[in-house]
Each structure stands twice: as C-alpha cells, then as structure tokens.
Structure 1
Amino acid sequence: MGYARLFFDRIPDPNSVLWNAIFKGYAENEFYREVLVLFNQMKRKDVKPSAFTFPFVLKSCGKISALREGKEVHCFIIKSGFQGNPFVGTTLIDMYSGGGAIESAHQVFGEMPVKNVIVWTAVIAGYILVNDVEHARKLFDLTVERDVVLWNTMVSGYIESGDMVKARQLFDEMPNRDVMSWNTILVGYMNNEDLKAAEELFEVMPERNIFSWNGLIGGYARHSRFFEVLVGFKRMLTESDTVPNDATLVTVLSACSRLGALDLGKWLHVYAESNGFKGNVYVGNGLIDMYSKCGSIENAIDVFNSMELKDLITWNSMICGLAMHGRGIDALNAFDCMKSMGEKPDGITFVGVLSACTHMGLVENGFSYFQSMTNEYSIVPQIEHYGCMVDLLSRAGLLKQAVDFVRKMPIKADSVTWSALLGACRVHKNIELAELALEHLMELEPNNPANCVMLSNIYGDVGRWKDAARLKVVARGMGVRKIPGCSSIEVNDAVTEFYSLDERHPCRVEIYEALGGLTELMKSYGDEPDLKDLR
C-alpha cells in the first residue's frame, strides 16, 4: 500500500475509479482509518463519488466503530442522491446494525424504494445481530422472495439464540436446502451441546463437504471428545473423497496433543508435508503444540525453525512449550528473539515467560517481566499471571511474600493459586500457611477431598499424626471420592485410557474396532513416518 499510495499521490487529477481503487486497497489491507482520511480529501477536491465509493467507506466506519463518521457519510449519500441505491443502502444497514443502531438501520430499510432479497437479508441479519430474533422473524415472514442465504440467516438466528427447536422447524420448511443449510444446522446442534442430534443429522445428510466433516470433528473437539475426533478423521479419510484442509489437521493435532497420541501426530506431520501443507502457519503451530504436549520438544523446535512465516501463536506455542519442558533459558531467549523480530507479545506470551522464570527460580526477573506487561505493553494481568507469580514465590521458598502478594491482588485468588501455595507449604513444611491455604480452598472447593489429604500429608511430614488422622476422617466424611488419576497409552494407533491396576482393557473393544485399522490406512498414504527425512 505504501507504493500504491506514492503512485496515487502523483496522479494530477484522479477520477472516481482511481479513488475507489485506493479505497479498496486500504480496506482490504485493514487500514480503515486511512479510508476515512482519503474520503475527506476526495470531498475537498470536489470529486464526484460513484455508487461503488460509499460501501468501502461505510464498511471502514463499521470496522472501527466510527458511527458518528458513518452518520456524516450517510448525510453525504443523501446529498449525492445515492440513498435509494440498493448496494449503498445495504451497506448502510450493515454499518448501523454493527454499531447497535438497529432503529437507524430499519429507517434506512424503510426509505429504500426497491427492496431486493439482499436488502431483506441485511436488515434481518441486523436484528439477529442485536439479539432481537422475534423482530427478525416478523420481517422474514413478510418477505416475498427468499433465497437459501436468507433461509440460512434466519436459521442461524435461532441457533445463536439457543432455540434449536425453532431452528430445526424452519430448517425442515426450507424448500431448497443446500449443503450449507445442512452444515448450519449441524454446527448448531454441536454448539448447543446436542451431540446425539448432530450425529443423527450427519448420517442422513444427502451431501457432505469439508465443512461438514470439520463441523463434526470440530464439535467433538470443543466438547473434549478427543477419541471421537480421531474416529471422525478416520471416517473422513476412508468413507469419502473429501480432502482434509488445514483446519481439519489442526483440530486432529489438538486431539493428539490431548491424548498423547505421538505416533498419529508424527503421521499427520508426514501427511501435511506430502499434501501441500508444508509452510502452512496454522498446521505448523498445531505441530509445535502437539510435539510439545506429547513430550517431544526437539521435534517441536525443528518444526519452529523450519517455518519461514511465524505469527504470534507460533511464538507463544514455542515459548510455552519450552517453559513446559523446563527449558527456561531457551524460552526467555525465544522471547527476546520474538521482540527483536517486531512481534508484539500478548497475555499468553507472558504466561510462558513467567512459567519459565518459575522453573528457574528467577524471582527478580519474574517481577520485572510481570511489571513490563502493563508498563510496556498495556496488558492487564489476569488470574493466570497472578497464579504464576504466586507459584514463582512459593517454589522459591518465599511463602510469606507469596501470601502478601495474594492479599494485594486486585483479583480474588482461585483454587489453582491456593493449591500452588499449599503444595509449596508441604515442600517447606510451613504448617501455619498450609492451614490458611486450606481454609480458602475449603471455601472455593468444599467438595474436593484432595485438599484435606494434602494438609494431612503435611501434618504427617512433621509428625503431627493426630491432626493428620483427623483430616483424613474429615475427607472421608465429605462423601465425595477423589477422582483417580488417568493415563493413556497408544497401541496399534488406538489411544486407550487406564487407571492404576486397571484390567478393563479387553472391555474396550469398540475403540479398537473404530481405530484399529488406522495403521493400514496410514501406510496406504505413504511409508512409516521418518522425521529424519523431513529435516
């Protein structure tokens, strides 16, 4: 845009077509304020705008919530005689609706002499945007001409309001449902936590595309049904000709990271490299996250170093991954490199940085980074950042300072923060602060017996056996059993969960039936993963 602007400024008398071209360039590159500045210059030069000028300007007003400037443009539209233009009117409706001024949007709608289906869709979508689904439905019932986009807009309105009954009723009334219509209702069921209805709908869909499969797989992922994510991905590869896109791979990689399915994650790495996703920043970010959470930090570093394009998520994934593996120095070096590359950190970045300081016991550095969040980057610390600071002080043995820090926090400490302090009290055998931490934990988690068990163990460590026995009786009296820890293992490309001394493995035949053929499927796409070749 810099070169385009230099060239534009050297044109003696640009006409409306050239002005529209520069408006379009700035708008598409998200320089919305520049569009408004240039539009004022255009007016001062008395260049007559066309019907294509105003949509760029109005959309820019909407993007930066410049409703006052938008009203000024509206006045100029009336003076220029474009008020009745459907193209301009539709954009005006969108601008007012996006700014919450639905009455003004409706007034524009009412004053338009010609109302086509696009105009009707815009005003109905506006009412849905301000959560007035009832008024949107009244307008929908008044429409004479309805296309599939209008039908889908109204169905989406009911879905966003959480009324799946009316959404399904309207969906069943649609005369010409396309695959987008089916996808809309499928994602609606998933978003409203009716997975059974979504699965039943998916099975009867007359046609499926990549968005259908992503809707199913992504819905499973959002509800932490990671086994079903892998099953759905296998079905997609075996039962259809649909080719996964980057969104599919990122979702499956996320499931692999949650399940610890490193072998499948490696195969996905090879698949991505072999099917045109090499250099894709989203897939690269997913691979870094997967390798980090599956314990293979060296492979995560290799993926990071091989990426030519890195965004904020790339840096955050790498910094947090290094901190997670106790490589604090490398995490802080990556943070310095990130800043030198001109990438601005966010709150997630500082969670990784503070975690790195915690693992290395760098108390002063941790406070320095914590202060720089607000002083240098205007980032408001959240409970995660305060929790990291409490953990940093606690691990360093500065328990009293940690308690003082908690008391001065502008946010009420959560159970994670107090649990970190309680755990540190056991390491440093501080009974007084451990009792204080338990008192707060009992308020936050009254039904969690693990907190009583922790303090009981602390009493046992210092020989106060009567107090230890008393707390164990209290824990049993809660009537709530502690949820046992669960591990998972990857066998024949199926991920199976198990507990200590668990003998249920033969009973989980359905998982093996669903995922057992994944090895052969992987081999049909190529050889076994060989990361040396990839490097």
Structure 2
Amino acid sequence: MGYACQVFDRIPHPNVFLWNAMFKGYSENGLHNEVLVLFDEMKKRDVRPNAFTFPFILKSCGKIPALREGEEVHCFVVKSGFEANAFVGTTLIDMYSGGGAIGSAHKVFDEMPGRNVVAWTAIVSGYISLNSLGSARSLFDQAPERDIVLWNIMVSGYVASGDMVSARGIFDEMPGKDIMAWNTVLNGYASSGDFKAGERLFGEMPERNVFSWNGLIGGYARHGRFFEVLGAFKRMLKESDVLPNDATLVTVLSACARLGSLDLGKWVHVYSKSNGFKENVYVGNALIDMYAKCGSIESAIDVFNDMNFRDLITWNSVIGGLAMHGRGTDALNAFDWMKKDGQTPDGITFISVLCACTHMGLVKDGFNYFQSMIDHYSIVPQIEHYGCMVDLLGRAGLLFEAVDFVRKMPIEADCVIWSALLGACRIYKNVRLAELAVQELIRLEPTNVANYVVLSNLYGSVGMWEDVARLKLVMKEVGVRKLPGCSLIEVNDGVVEFYSSDKSHSQIEEIYWVLNGLTDVLKSAGYEPGLDEFGEGT
C-alpha cells in the first residue's frame, strides 16, 4: 500500500476508479481508518463516488466500528441517489447490525425496493449476531427465496446459541445440504458434548472433508476425551482418503501430551516432516509442548532449534518445558534470548520464568522478574503468578513470608496456592501452618481427599499418630476416601489406563509385562516398593 499510495499521489486528477482501487487496497489490508481519511480527501476534491465506492467505506465503518461516521456516509448515499442500490443497501445493513443498531438495519432493509436473497441473508445474519434468534427465524420463514448460504446461516445461529434441537430441525428441512451444513451441525454436537448424536451424524454424512474429521477430533479434545482423539485420528488415517491438516496434527499432539503417548507423538512428528508441515509454526509449537510434557526435553529443544520462524507460543513452550524439567538456568537463558530476538513476553512467559526461579531457589530473582512484569511490560498479575510466588517462597523454606504474601494479595487465594503452601509445610514439617492451609483448602474444596492425605503424611512423619487416626475418622465422617492410583502406559501402539490392584483389565498380561520391566528399572535405581500411610501399595 505504501507504493500504491506514492503512485496515487502523483496522479494529478485521479478518477473514481482509482479512488476505489485505493479504498479496496486499504480495506483488504485491514487499514480501515485510512479508508475513512481517504474518503474525506475524496469529498474535498469533489470527486463523485459511484455504487462501488460506498460498500468499501461502509464496510470500514462497521469494522472499526464507527457508527456515527457510518450514519454520515448513509446520508451521503441518499444525497448521491444510491439508496436503491442493492449492493449498497446490503452493506448498510451489515454496518448497522455490526454496530448493534439493528433497528436502523431493519429500516434500511424495509426501504430497499428490490430485496434479493443477499439482502435477506444480511438482515437475518444481523439479528443472529445480536442473539435475537426469534426475529431471525421469523424473517427466515418470510424470505421468498432461500439459498444454501441463508440456510447455513440459520443453522449456524442455532448451533452458536446451543439450541441443537432447533438446529437439527432446520437442518433436516434443508434442501440440498452441502458439506458445510453437515460440518456445522457436527461441530454443534461436538461442542455441546453430545458425542452419541455427533457420531451418528458423522456416520450419516455422504462425504467428509478434513473439517469434518477436525470437528469430531476437536470436539473430543475440548471435552478432555483424549483417548477418543487418538482413536478418531487412527480411524481418519485408516478409513478415509482425507489427509490431516495442521489443525488436526496440533490437536492430536496435544492429546499425546496429555496422555504421555510419546511413541504416537514421534510418529506424528515423522508424518509432519514427510507431508510438508516441517516449517509450520503451529505444528512445531505443538511438537515442543508434546515432547516436553512426555519427558523428552532434548527432542523439544531439537524441534525449537530447527524452526526458522518462532512466535510467542514457541518461546513460551520451550521456556515452560525447560522450567518443567528443572532446567531453570536454561529457561532463564532462553528468556533472555527471547527478548534479544525482539519478542515481547506475556503473562504466560512469566509463569514459566517464575517456575524456573522456583526450581532454582532464586527468591530475589523471582521477585525482580515479578516486579519487572508489572513495571516494564504492564502485565497485571493473575492468580497463577501469585501462586508461583507463594510456591517460590514455600520451597525456599520461607513459610511465614509465604503466608504474609498470601494475606497481602489483592485477590483471594485459590486452592492451588494453599496446596502449594501445604506441600512446602510437609517438606519443612511445619504442622501449624499446614493445618492453617488445610482449613482453607477444606473451605474451598471439602471433598478433595488429597488435602487430607498430605496432612496425614505430615502427621506421620513427625510421629503424631493420634492425629493420623483422628484425620482418618474425619475423612470417614465427611465421606471422602482415597481413590486407587491410576496410571497410563503405552502398550501395543496405544495408551492403556489402569488402576491399582486392577486384575480384570482386558490387557492385563501386556500391562504386567511392561510394569515388571519398569519395576526392574526402579529397583536398579535404588527404589523399593512399600506401603503408604493408608496401607496401599506404592
């Protein structure tokens, strides 16, 4: 646009077509303020706009948004004699409804002499954008002509509002359903968590594209059903000719990270390199996160080093991964590298930086980073940042300072902060502060058995066995009990979940084979099996 502007400025008397070319260029590049400034210049030069000029101006008024300026342009439209133009009228409807002035939008619609299906679609879409589905449906039913776009917008409106009954009803009435309509309803079921209906619809689809598969896979991921994510991905590879895109791979890698499925994550890495995703920053970020959370930090660093382009998420992923693995010095060095590279940190970056300070016991540095976040980057600390600071003080043995910090916080401490303090009390065997933390935790989450277990372990470590017995009695009266331990391991190219003392699992022989090998490794490292305070095997 810089070069275009230089050429335009050298033309002594540009005609309306050249003005429109400039409006279009600014608009398509998101420079909507420049569109309005240039339009003022056009008026000063007494250049008469045509029917193609006003849609660019009105679109920019809606994007900024600048409703008052849009009303002035509307007056100019009327004075110029273009109020009957369907293209201009439709853009006016979009502008007014986008600014929340649905009454003005409807008035424009009522005054249009020849309302085509595009105008009907614009007014219906306007009501839907303001969540006025009743009015939208009434207009939809009155429309003399409905094309596939209008049908899809009505279905999408119901889906966005969470009304899947109405969405499915209008979808069933829809003639000539296209794949976009099928995908819209599928996404609706996935977002609402109705996977039975979603799977049925998925099976009925006459054709599927990558967005169909992503709708199913992404829906499982959003609801934490990571086993189903991996299962649907394997089905996609085996049952269809549809190739995954970067969104598919990112979702699958995220599921691998949550389940610890390193082998499948490595396979996705090889697949991504072989199918043109090597330079994709989103896939690269997901690979760093997956490797870090699956315990393979060196592989995460290798991915990071191979990336030609890095965004904020890339830096956050590698800094967080290094901090997670106790490599605080490397995490802080990466943070310095990030700033030298010209990338501005955000709140997530500082959570990782503070975690790195926690692992290294750098209390003073941690407070300096915390203050720098506020002073230099104008980032308002959130509960997660305060939690990191409490954890930093607690791990350093500064328990009373941690309690004082909690009391001076501008926001109320949550269960994560009190749990961090409780964990520190267990390490340093401070019973009095541990009981204070547990009191707060019971108030916030009375049924969380972990809080009772940690306090019981602390009582046992200092020989307060009567208090251990008393706590067991309290747990029994409250009705909370310790759940059996749950583990995830990779067996036969899949992830298997099993519980402590579970002898009825369908893959019990494979599980025992893997666990026996793991036990030998742990014994060789000096670990021995035993019992915890509740008599359960460890």
TM-score, normalised via structure 2 length = 0.90
Q: Could you tell me how far apart the structure 2 residues matched to 1:322 and 1:191 are?
A: 33
Q: Quick check: 439-448 or 472-481, which moved more?
A: 472-481
Ranked by relative contact order (alpha carbons within 8 Å, sequence separation 6 or more), the top structure is 1
2:289 maps to what in 1?
289
Is structure 2 residue 213 aligned with structure 1 residue 240? Answer: no
Check conservation: 1:452, 1:474, Cα contact below 8 A. no
**1:418-461 C-alpha deviation (Å, 9 max, x unpaired):** 10011111112222221211111111001112212212222222
Q: Could you tell me how far apart the structure 1 residues matched to 2:218 and 2:410 are?
A: 36
User: How far does residue 390 in structure 1 lie from its aligned partner after superposition?
Assistant: 1.4
Is structure 2 residue 350 aligned with structure 1 residue 330? Answer: no
Check conservation: 1:426, 1:434, Cα contact below 8 A. yes
Q: Quick check: 31-40 or 384-393, which moved more?
A: 31-40
Is structure 2 residue 111 aligned with structure 1 residue 111? Answer: yes
1:87 maps to what in 2?
87
Check conservation: 1:453, 1:475, Cα contact below 8 A. no
CA gap of 1:486–1:62, structure 2 versus 1, over 3 A, is: farther
Q: Could you tell me how far apart the structure 1 residues matched to 2:366 and 2:146 are?
A: 59
Is structure 2 residue 134 aligned with structure 1 residue 134? Answer: yes
Q: Quick check: 314-323 or 181-190, which moved more?
A: 314-323
1:393 maps to what in 2?
393
1:413 maps to what in 2?
413
**1:329-374 C-alpha deviation (Å, 9 max, x unpaired):** 2222222222223322222222222222221222222222222333
CA gap of 1:73–1:257, structure 2 versus 1, over 3 A, is: same
CA gap of 1:72–1:315, structure 2 versus 1, over 3 A, is: farther
Code of the aligned partner of 1:59:
K
Code of the aligned partner of 1:286:
A
1:453 maps to what in 2?
453
2:525 maps to what in 1?
none
2:435 maps to what in 1?
435
Q: Could you tell me how far apart the structure 1 residues matched to 2:500 and 2:96 are?
A: 60
Code of the aligned partner of 1:350:
F
Q: Could you tell me how far apart the structure 2 residues matched to 1:340 and 1:381 are?
A: 23
Check conservation: 1:279, 1:308, Cα contact below 8 A. yes
Check conservation: 1:453, 1:472, Cα contact below 8 A. no
Q: Is the partner of 2:489 in helix, strand or coil?
A: strand
Q: Could you tell me how far apart the structure 2 residues matched to 1:45 and 1:102 are?
A: 33
Q: Could you tell me how far apart the structure 2 residues matched to 1:391 and 1:263 are?
A: 33
CA gap of 1:5–1:289, structure 2 versus 1, over 3 A, is: farther
1:200 maps to what in 2?
200
2:176 maps to what in 1?
176
Check conservation: 1:323, 1:356, Cα contact below 8 A. yes
Which structure 2 residue ranges, 5 or more long, are not aligned?
A: 512-538
User: How far does residue 163 in structure 1 lie from its aligned partner after superposition?
Assistant: 1.4
1:96 maps to what in 2?
96
User: How far does residue 478 in structure 1 lie from its aligned partner after superposition?
Assistant: 2.0
User: How far does residue 18 in structure 1 lie from its aligned partner after superposition?
Assistant: 2.9
**1:246-277 C-alpha deviation (Å, 9 max, x unpaired):** 11111111111111111111111111111111
Code of the aligned partner of 1:491:
V
Q: Quick check: 225-234 or 13-22, which moved more?
A: 13-22
User: How far does residue 183 in structure 1 lie from its aligned partner after superposition?
Assistant: 0.8
CA gap of 1:68–1:311, structure 2 versus 1, over 3 A, is: farther
Q: Could you tell me how far apart the structure 1 residues matched to 2:301 and 2:62 are?
A: 41
Q: Could you tell me how far apart the structure 2 residues matched to 1:256 and 1:101 are?
A: 46
2:258 maps to what in 1?
258
Q: Quick check: 243-252 or 93-102, which moved more?
A: 93-102
1:71 maps to what in 2?
71
Q: Is the partner of 1:377 in helix, strand or coil?
A: coil
2:309 maps to what in 1?
309
CA gap of 1:259–1:368, structure 2 versus 1, over 3 A, is: same
Code of the aligned partner of 1:73:
V
Q: Could you tell me how far apart the structure 1 residues matched to 2:473 and 2:184 are?
A: 53
CA gap of 1:84–1:345, structure 2 versus 1, over 3 A, is: farther
CA gap of 1:403–1:67, structure 2 versus 1, over 3 A, is: farther
2:41 maps to what in 1?
41
CA gap of 1:361–1:74, structure 2 versus 1, over 3 A, is: farther
Is structure 2 residue 399 aligned with structure 1 residue 382? Answer: no
Q: Is the partner of 1:128 in helix, strand or coil?
A: helix
CA gap of 1:280–1:465, structure 2 versus 1, over 3 A, is: same
Q: Could you tell me how far apart the structure 1 residues matched to 2:374 and 2:14 are?
A: 45
User: How far does residue 507 in structure 1 lie from its aligned partner after superposition?
Assistant: 5.3
**1:197-240 C-alpha deviation (Å, 9 max, x unpaired):** 00011111111111111111111111111111111111111211
Check conservation: 1:448, 1:482, Cα contact below 8 A. no
Code of the aligned partner of 2:203:
E
CA gap of 1:491–1:415, structure 2 versus 1, over 3 A, is: same
**1:363-387 C-alpha deviation (Å, 9 max, x unpaired):** 2222222223333323222211121
Q: Quick check: 130-139 or 11-20, which moved more?
A: 11-20
User: How far does residue 100 in structure 1 lie from its aligned partner after superposition?
Assistant: 1.9
Q: Is the partner of 1:422 in helix, strand or coil?
A: helix
Rg larger for: 2
User: How far does residue 158 in structure 1 lie from its aligned partner after superposition?
Assistant: 1.3
1:373 maps to what in 2?
373
CA gap of 1:364–1:65, structure 2 versus 1, over 3 A, is: farther
Q: Is the partner of 2:376 in helix, strand or coil?
A: helix
CA gap of 1:39–1:301, structure 2 versus 1, over 3 A, is: farther
Code of the aligned partner of 1:364:
K
2:230 maps to what in 1?
230
1:527 maps to what in 2?
none
